[in-house]
Amino acid sequence: VQLQASGGGLVQAGVSLRLSCAASRRTISNYGMGWFRQAPGKEREFVAAITWSGTATSYADSVKGRFTISRDNSRNRVYLQMNSLKPEDTAVYYCVADRQFRRPVVGGSQLTDGFWGQGTLVTVSS
């Protein structure tokens, strides 16, 4: 599977942004998906995940209540709606696909060795 994230940009604190991840070469409808991010000089961290069916999601504490992950299996896409952005959200955001078929629970630890796409840069100014 190939994953291409898009939708990043330079925004001011407090605004919203929606990232999109388009999958190709394979359908993602039977696989959990997620987002990670890596800020300058910091380690990569888990942001959000969603099960193959879309019935369960998980979030990092730092984004809970502000970010929402969703998926459209008919379009082979996953989204990350980011509201109330903060300067500390500045990072390159990566889309990840799980390797396991229809895993019932998916989170950061399950996605670490998944399929990674190219990232999209989000810069939030204060």
At 38 the pLDDT is 98
* Displacement of CA 85 from its chain's centroid (Å): 15
pLDDT 10s digits, 22-74: 999 999 999 999 999 999 999 999 999 999 999 999 999 999 999 999 999 99
